[in-house]
Amino acid sequence: MTTAAVPLPNLYGLDREGLIAALTPLGLEAYRAKQVFAQIYRRGVHDPQAWTDMPAAMRQLLSTQSAVEPPRISSFVVALDGTIKYVLELPSGGQVEAVAIPAEDRMTFCISSQVGCAYGCTFCMTAKLGFIRHLSPGEIVGQVDALLAATNTPRGQHNVVFMGMGEPLHNIENVLQAIAILTDDDAFALGPRRITVSTVGLIAGIDRLRAAAVVPRLAVSLVAADQEVRASLMPIARSVTLDDLAAAVRRFGDGKRDVPTFEVVLLDGVNDSPRLAHQLGDLAVRARAKVNLIEFNPTPLLPYLPASEERMNFFLKILKQRGVVGTVRRSRGKDAFAACGQLAFLQKTEGGGAESSLPLRPERSGGTNALS
């Protein structure tokens, strides 16, 4: 035996073809890859020695010649409203964050697709990190796996939203591979309609998603239905026009049961004017989209405050007048810095330093925020 200088191939995150490619050199036939696939993702058994549908010698071989390493939870914070933010340690180094959001009738996992983000939206904490790297399919799927186990949620009985760190359509190949594993009946068996990909609005990516083998729901972070206002908050709007974006969203929704969503995080005095409410109504009609108004989750590190309740209601009224379905998403997990787009906070402050004040072990975090 030589001491392995090269790390063992990590089987976690490989799809069927990837497993065949990794297992063939070890002398395993293709049907064994199917067994390994089901063991890892359907049964959630990560120790090859426990794969009892295989001969003992094969189990031994797999446990010495390969590794099955999902991301592991290293810490978590429970917010007053029951939202739990997890920090996961990635086997290849680094950390990523994911949030479990329980509601009366469902559980939602908000997951990350990248470490950092390249798009520089001015109201988003992740943007402050800049782009660090893409997550692999295993690092994406592994967040769901870890949160399922940690929250004791039955497989298939939860939603997954790509609204954590990163721009999923910038990492579309790995995101599609992760979606393929999440929806595979031999793996997580999640219905495609339980998965939502949220994007800054990359047109080519939206079209690619539309043509994918498994098509999830689409949400576009519109923020403002005015080119200039949008560009002042989202640099991507300098190269993507609202006309093109509306057309792409309309194409995506065409012939589908699920209507795409425009997400609009309302910022006090910035994008909450009556004019913008009317423009939003127009654009949503053109794009055949519904609208989700998001309550901004403020942080001292960003110069924005949430729009007033009156403004929120005004937007809802205008949308209703135009026949557009409008809903409000209340910010969840405020005291745990768990809002989508706020996941970068711990990244920056963890590991010592005066700012590192959040508990690393499960305990109710302090604070007096009334969470709705």
Could you list the residues that contact ligand SAH (CB under 6 A)? 123-124, 163, 167, 198-200, 221, 263, 265, 294, 296-297, 331, 339-342
Q: Is 29 in the active site?
A: no
The active-site residue, picked from 110, 295, 340, 350, is 340
The active-site residue, picked from 29, 89, 97, 363, is 97
Which residue minimizes CB distance to ligand SAH?
341
Q: Is 340 in the active site?
A: yes
Q: Are the C-beta atoms of 114 and 170 separated by less than 8 Å?
A: yes
| Cα dihedral 115/119/124/125 (nearest 10) | 40
Of the two residues 55 and 303, which places its CB atom closer to ligand SAH in the complex?
Answer: 303
End-to-end CA distance of the chain: 60
Q: CB 236 → ligand SAH: shortest distance, Å?
A: 9
Q: Are the C-beta atoms of 249 and 219 separated by less than 8 Å?
A: no
Q: CB 342 → ligand SAH: shortest distance, Å?
A: 5
Q: What long-range pairs does 130-135 form, CB within 8 A, spacing at least 24?
A: 132/94, 133/94, 134/166, 134/170, 134/171, 134/174, 135/90, 135/96, 135/166, 135/171, 135/174
Q: CB 123 → ligand SAH: shortest distance, Å?
A: 5
Q: CB 262 → ligand SAH: shortest distance, Å?
A: 9
- Side chain identity at 180, as an amino acid letter? A
Spatial separation of the C-alpha atoms in residues 131 and 117, rounded to whole Å:
4
Of the two residues 177 and 199, which places its CB atom closer to ligand SAH in the complex?
Answer: 199
Of the two residues 136 and 171, which places its CB atom closer to ligand SAH in the complex?
Answer: 171
Of the two residues 66 and 199, which places its CB atom closer to ligand SAH in the complex?
Answer: 199
Residues serving a catalytic function are 97, 340
